[in-house]
Structure 1
Amino acid sequence: MGIFERIKTQIFGKDGGPFGDNYFGQKKDAPKPAPAPTPAPAPVQQHAPAAPAAPAAPATPATAPAQPVDARAAIARIAEQKGNPALNWQTSIVDLMKLLDLDSSLDNRKELATELGYTGAKDGSAEMNIWLHAAVLRELGKAGGHVPEKLKD
Protein backbone atom coordinates (compact mmCIF):
# COMPACT_ATOMS: atom_id res chain seq x y z
CA MET A 1 0.00 0.00 0.00
CA GLY A 2 1.40 3.36 -1.01
CA ILE A 3 1.80 6.30 1.32
CA PHE A 4 -1.04 8.26 -0.27
CA GLU A 5 -3.31 5.25 0.10
CA ARG A 6 -2.43 5.14 3.83
CA ILE A 7 -3.19 8.87 4.14
CA LYS A 8 -6.54 8.38 2.42
CA THR A 9 -7.39 5.40 4.61
CA GLN A 10 -6.54 7.29 7.80
CA ILE A 11 -8.77 10.21 6.79
CA PHE A 12 -11.70 8.50 5.05
CA GLY A 13 -11.49 5.21 6.92
CA LYS A 14 -11.40 1.60 5.87
CA ASP A 15 -13.28 -0.95 7.89
CA GLY A 16 -14.10 1.76 10.39
CA GLY A 17 -11.07 4.00 10.07
CA PRO A 18 -8.85 5.05 12.94
CA PHE A 19 -11.68 6.03 15.25
CA GLY A 20 -14.26 3.31 14.60
CA ASP A 21 -16.33 5.31 12.12
CA ASN A 22 -16.92 4.69 8.47
CA TYR A 23 -16.97 7.33 5.72
CA PHE A 24 -20.27 8.71 6.87
CA GLY A 25 -19.57 8.86 10.61
CA GLN A 26 -21.54 5.71 11.44
CA LYS A 27 -20.12 3.39 14.06
CA LYS A 28 -18.74 0.24 12.52
CA ASP A 29 -20.65 -1.82 15.08
CA ALA A 30 -23.96 -0.42 13.81
CA PRO A 31 -26.30 -3.23 12.80
CA LYS A 32 -26.57 -3.90 9.11
CA PRO A 33 -30.04 -4.02 7.60
CA ALA A 34 -31.45 -7.51 7.28
CA PRO A 35 -31.79 -8.84 3.75
CA ALA A 36 -35.28 -8.73 2.29
CA PRO A 37 -37.09 -12.04 2.66
CA THR A 38 -37.45 -14.11 -0.47
CA PRO A 39 -41.13 -14.52 -1.39
CA ALA A 40 -42.45 -18.04 -1.53
CA PRO A 41 -43.14 -19.31 -5.05
CA ALA A 42 -46.76 -19.15 -6.17
CA PRO A 43 -48.55 -22.48 -6.40
CA VAL A 44 -48.61 -23.94 -9.89
CA GLN A 45 -52.06 -24.38 -11.42
CA GLN A 46 -52.44 -27.48 -13.54
CA HIS A 47 -55.23 -26.45 -15.93
CA ALA A 48 -54.97 -22.67 -16.23
CA PRO A 49 -52.74 -21.19 -18.93
CA ALA A 50 -49.58 -19.60 -17.59
CA ALA A 51 -49.79 -15.84 -17.23
CA PRO A 52 -47.15 -13.88 -19.08
CA ALA A 53 -44.24 -12.94 -16.85
CA ALA A 54 -44.17 -9.36 -15.64
CA PRO A 55 -41.35 -7.28 -17.08
CA ALA A 56 -38.31 -7.33 -14.85
CA ALA A 57 -37.87 -4.29 -12.67
CA PRO A 58 -34.70 -2.32 -13.38
CA ALA A 59 -31.84 -3.44 -11.19
CA THR A 60 -30.99 -1.14 -8.33
CA PRO A 61 -27.42 -0.71 -7.21
CA ALA A 62 -26.43 -2.72 -4.14
CA THR A 63 -25.13 0.40 -2.44
CA ALA A 64 -25.98 4.05 -2.75
CA PRO A 65 -23.43 6.17 -4.56
CA ALA A 66 -20.78 7.51 -2.24
CA GLN A 67 -21.33 11.02 -1.03
CA PRO A 68 -18.39 13.41 -0.90
CA VAL A 69 -16.60 13.20 2.42
CA ASP A 70 -15.60 16.49 4.03
CA ALA A 71 -11.88 15.77 4.25
CA ARG A 72 -11.14 18.97 6.19
CA ALA A 73 -13.76 18.12 8.81
CA ALA A 74 -12.54 14.50 9.02
CA ILE A 75 -8.93 15.65 9.60
CA ALA A 76 -10.08 18.29 12.10
CA ARG A 77 -12.01 15.60 13.99
CA ILE A 78 -8.89 13.42 14.14
CA ALA A 79 -6.88 16.39 15.43
CA GLU A 80 -9.52 17.17 18.04
CA GLN A 81 -9.72 13.57 19.22
CA LYS A 82 -5.95 13.34 19.49
CA GLY A 83 -5.80 16.64 21.35
CA ASN A 84 -2.68 17.97 19.61
CA PRO A 85 -3.44 21.55 18.56
CA ALA A 86 0.26 22.30 17.90
CA LEU A 87 0.19 20.37 14.62
CA ASN A 88 -0.45 22.67 11.65
CA TRP A 89 -1.91 20.08 9.29
CA GLN A 90 -3.66 22.78 7.21
CA THR A 91 -0.33 23.88 5.67
CA SER A 92 2.32 21.32 6.63
CA ILE A 93 2.68 17.89 5.03
CA VAL A 94 4.93 16.83 7.90
CA ASP A 95 2.31 17.80 10.49
CA LEU A 96 -0.47 16.17 8.45
CA MET A 97 1.47 12.92 8.31
CA LYS A 98 2.29 13.08 12.03
CA LEU A 99 -1.37 13.69 12.84
CA LEU A 100 -2.26 10.56 10.87
CA ASP A 101 0.42 8.51 12.68
CA LEU A 102 2.45 8.13 9.49
CA ASP A 103 6.22 8.35 9.22
CA SER A 104 6.98 11.88 7.99
CA SER A 105 10.67 11.22 7.35
CA LEU A 106 12.33 12.62 4.25
CA ASP A 107 12.48 9.13 2.74
CA ASN A 108 8.71 8.71 3.08
CA ARG A 109 8.05 12.19 1.72
CA LYS A 110 10.31 11.39 -1.25
CA GLU A 111 8.30 8.23 -1.85
CA LEU A 112 5.04 10.18 -1.59
CA ALA A 113 6.43 12.79 -4.01
CA THR A 114 7.24 10.02 -6.49
CA GLU A 115 3.74 8.49 -6.09
CA LEU A 116 2.08 11.84 -6.76
CA GLY A 117 4.28 12.81 -9.71
CA TYR A 118 6.54 15.51 -8.27
CA THR A 119 9.24 16.37 -10.80
CA GLY A 120 11.39 18.76 -8.78
CA ALA A 121 14.34 17.96 -6.55
CA LYS A 122 13.31 15.50 -3.85
CA ASP A 123 15.41 17.14 -1.18
CA GLY A 124 12.87 18.02 1.50
CA SER A 125 12.85 21.67 0.49
CA ALA A 126 10.00 23.98 1.38
CA GLU A 127 9.00 23.92 -2.30
CA MET A 128 8.68 20.12 -2.27
CA ASN A 129 6.78 20.06 1.03
CA ILE A 130 4.34 22.78 -0.05
CA TRP A 131 3.74 20.96 -3.34
CA LEU A 132 3.23 17.66 -1.50
CA HIS A 133 0.67 19.16 0.88
CA ALA A 134 -1.34 20.69 -1.96
CA ALA A 135 -1.06 17.50 -4.05
CA VAL A 136 -2.28 15.30 -1.18
CA LEU A 137 -5.32 17.52 -0.67
CA ARG A 138 -6.04 17.63 -4.42
CA GLU A 139 -5.83 13.82 -4.58
CA LEU A 140 -8.14 13.52 -1.57
CA GLY A 141 -10.61 15.61 -3.55
CA LYS A 142 -10.27 13.30 -6.56
CA ALA A 143 -10.81 10.30 -4.27
CA GLY A 144 -14.24 11.53 -3.23
CA GLY A 145 -13.34 13.98 -0.52
CA HIS A 146 -14.54 17.54 -0.35
CA VAL A 147 -11.54 19.79 0.24
CA PRO A 148 -11.91 23.59 0.37
CA GLU A 149 -10.08 25.32 -2.49
CA LYS A 150 -7.96 27.39 -0.09
CA LEU A 151 -6.39 24.18 1.29
CA LYS A 152 -5.46 22.90 -2.18
CA ASP A 153 -3.11 25.83 -2.95
Structure 2
Amino acid sequence: MSIFSAIKNAIFGHKSAQPAAPAATTAPATAPAATAAPAAAPTPQQPVDVGAVLTQIEAEKGNPALNYKTSIVDLMKLLDLDSSLSNREQLATELGYTGAKDGSAEMNIWLHQAVMTELEKNGGTVPADLKH
Protein backbone atom coordinates (compact mmCIF):
# COMPACT_ATOMS: atom_id res chain seq x y z
CA MET A 1 0.00 0.00 0.00
CA SER A 2 1.26 3.44 -0.81
CA ILE A 3 1.99 5.97 1.92
CA PHE A 4 -0.71 8.31 0.59
CA SER A 5 -3.23 5.44 0.58
CA ALA A 6 -2.37 4.76 4.21
CA ILE A 7 -2.98 8.44 5.06
CA LYS A 8 -6.24 8.51 3.11
CA ASN A 9 -7.46 5.25 4.63
CA ALA A 10 -6.63 6.41 8.15
CA ILE A 11 -8.75 9.54 7.64
CA PHE A 12 -11.55 8.32 5.37
CA GLY A 13 -11.81 5.01 7.24
CA HIS A 14 -12.06 6.61 10.68
CA LYS A 15 -15.38 6.02 12.43
CA SER A 16 -16.12 9.76 12.50
CA ALA A 17 -15.82 9.89 8.70
CA GLN A 18 -18.49 7.26 8.14
CA PRO A 19 -21.95 8.54 7.20
CA ALA A 20 -24.91 7.10 9.05
CA ALA A 21 -26.17 3.91 7.45
CA PRO A 22 -29.32 4.49 5.42
CA ALA A 23 -32.48 2.85 6.72
CA ALA A 24 -33.15 -0.40 4.94
CA THR A 25 -36.44 -0.66 3.14
CA THR A 26 -38.05 -3.94 2.25
CA ALA A 27 -40.92 -4.77 -0.03
CA PRO A 28 -44.02 -6.26 1.59
CA ALA A 29 -43.83 -10.03 1.86
CA THR A 30 -46.97 -10.45 -0.25
CA ALA A 31 -45.75 -8.43 -3.23
CA PRO A 32 -44.80 -10.55 -6.23
CA ALA A 33 -41.22 -10.09 -7.44
CA ALA A 34 -42.42 -8.72 -10.79
CA THR A 35 -44.19 -5.77 -9.16
CA ALA A 36 -41.52 -4.92 -6.59
CA ALA A 37 -40.22 -1.37 -6.86
CA PRO A 38 -36.81 -1.10 -8.51
CA ALA A 39 -33.89 -0.70 -6.15
CA ALA A 40 -32.92 2.89 -5.51
CA ALA A 41 -29.65 4.04 -7.00
CA PRO A 42 -26.82 4.00 -4.48
CA THR A 43 -26.30 7.34 -2.81
CA PRO A 44 -22.99 8.95 -3.65
CA GLN A 45 -20.63 8.98 -0.70
CA GLN A 46 -20.69 12.24 1.19
CA PRO A 47 -17.44 14.20 1.25
CA VAL A 48 -15.30 13.45 4.29
CA ASP A 49 -14.66 16.48 6.50
CA VAL A 50 -10.90 16.03 6.88
CA GLY A 51 -10.58 18.75 9.52
CA ALA A 52 -13.33 17.25 11.69
CA VAL A 53 -11.87 13.75 11.43
CA LEU A 54 -8.38 14.93 12.39
CA THR A 55 -9.79 16.94 15.29
CA GLN A 56 -11.67 13.85 16.46
CA ILE A 57 -8.54 11.67 16.23
CA GLU A 58 -6.58 14.30 18.16
CA ALA A 59 -9.28 14.38 20.86
CA GLU A 60 -9.31 10.59 21.12
CA LYS A 61 -5.55 10.49 21.53
CA GLY A 62 -5.40 13.45 23.87
CA ASN A 63 -2.19 14.68 22.25
CA PRO A 64 -2.64 18.39 21.48
CA ALA A 65 1.13 18.88 21.14
CA LEU A 66 1.08 17.65 17.54
CA ASN A 67 1.03 20.37 14.90
CA TYR A 68 -0.70 18.25 12.23
CA LYS A 69 -2.27 21.32 10.59
CA THR A 70 1.06 22.35 9.08
CA SER A 71 3.50 19.49 9.70
CA ILE A 72 3.51 16.33 7.59
CA VAL A 73 5.55 14.59 10.29
CA ASP A 74 2.98 15.42 12.97
CA LEU A 75 0.10 14.51 10.64
CA MET A 76 1.63 11.08 10.07
CA LYS A 77 2.25 10.64 13.81
CA LEU A 78 -1.37 11.57 14.56
CA LEU A 79 -2.47 8.85 12.13
CA ASP A 80 -0.06 6.30 13.68
CA LEU A 81 2.01 6.13 10.50
CA ASP A 82 5.78 5.93 10.26
CA SER A 83 6.99 9.50 9.68
CA SER A 84 10.59 8.53 8.96
CA LEU A 85 12.52 10.27 6.22
CA SER A 86 12.39 7.15 4.06
CA ASN A 87 8.58 7.08 4.23
CA ARG A 88 8.39 10.81 3.49
CA GLU A 89 10.76 10.28 0.55
CA GLN A 90 8.44 7.55 -0.73
CA LEU A 91 5.43 9.85 -0.26
CA ALA A 92 7.26 12.62 -2.12
CA THR A 93 7.90 10.24 -5.02
CA GLU A 94 4.25 9.10 -5.05
CA LEU A 95 2.97 12.67 -5.16
CA GLY A 96 5.45 13.91 -7.77
CA TYR A 97 7.82 16.06 -5.72
CA THR A 98 10.74 17.08 -7.95
CA GLY A 99 13.01 18.76 -5.40
CA ALA A 100 15.69 17.19 -3.25
CA LYS A 101 14.20 14.44 -1.10
CA ASP A 102 16.28 15.33 1.91
CA GLY A 103 13.69 16.01 4.62
CA SER A 104 14.08 19.77 4.25
CA ALA A 105 11.43 22.18 5.43
CA GLU A 106 10.67 22.90 1.77
CA MET A 107 9.98 19.22 1.07
CA ASN A 108 7.90 18.75 4.21
CA ILE A 109 5.76 21.84 3.56
CA TRP A 110 5.22 20.72 -0.02
CA LEU A 111 4.24 17.23 1.18
CA HIS A 112 1.64 18.55 3.61
CA GLN A 113 0.09 20.76 0.94
CA ALA A 114 0.15 17.96 -1.64
CA VAL A 115 -1.48 15.50 0.78
CA MET A 116 -4.30 17.98 1.47
CA THR A 117 -4.77 18.58 -2.27
CA GLU A 118 -4.92 14.83 -2.93
CA LEU A 119 -7.38 14.30 -0.08
CA GLU A 120 -9.64 16.90 -1.73
CA LYS A 121 -9.31 15.16 -5.10
CA ASN A 122 -10.34 11.91 -3.43
CA GLY A 123 -13.53 13.17 -1.79
CA GLY A 124 -12.30 15.08 1.23
CA THR A 125 -13.35 18.53 2.32
CA VAL A 126 -10.22 20.27 3.60
CA PRO A 127 -10.62 23.45 5.65
CA ALA A 128 -8.46 26.48 4.88
CA ASP A 129 -6.38 26.10 8.06
CA LEU A 130 -5.04 22.77 6.73
CA LYS A 131 -4.09 24.18 3.32
CA HIS A 132 -1.57 26.82 4.50
TM norm structure 2:
0.85
Indicate conservation of the 8 Å contact 2:16/2:53, yes or no: no
TM-aligned CA distance change 1:85 to 1:41, over 3 Å: closer
Q: How does 1:1-153 map to 2 (within 5 A)?
A: 1-13=1-13, 17=14, 21=15, 23-24=17-18, 26=20, 33-34=23-24, 36-37=26-27, 40-41=31-32, 60-61=40-41, 63-153=42-132
The 3-state SS of whatever aligns with 2:94 is helix
Distance verdict in 2 for CA 1:117–1:83, change over 3 Å: same
Q: Note the C-alpha offset of 1:12.
A: 1.0
Deviations 1:41-100 (A, max 9, x none): 49xxxxxxxxxx99xx77632x21111111011001001100001000000000000010
Equivalent-residue separation in structure 1 for 2:30 and 2:124 (angstroms): 40
User: Could you list the runs of 5+ residues in structure 1 that have no partner in the other structure?
Assistant: 43-52
Pair member with larger Rg: 1
Using a 3 Å threshold, how does the CA distance of structure 1 residues 34 and 60 change in structure 2: closer, same or farther? closer
Give the total of aligned pairs: 131
- Secondary structure of residue in 2 paired with 1:88: coil
RCO higher in structure (CA 8 A, sep ≥6):
2
Q: TM-score, normalised by structure 1?
A: 0.74
The structure where helix makes up a greater share of residues is 2
The structural deviation recorded for 1:33 is 5.0
Q: Secondary structure at the match of 1:108?
A: helix
Consecutive aligned runs of 4 or more in structure 1 exceeding 6 Å deviation: none
Q: CA RMSD of the aligned region, Å?
A: 2.7
Gaps of 5+ in 2: none
Cα distance in structure 2, aligned partners of 1:36 and 1:9:
32
Q: Identity, % of aligned pairs?
A: 63
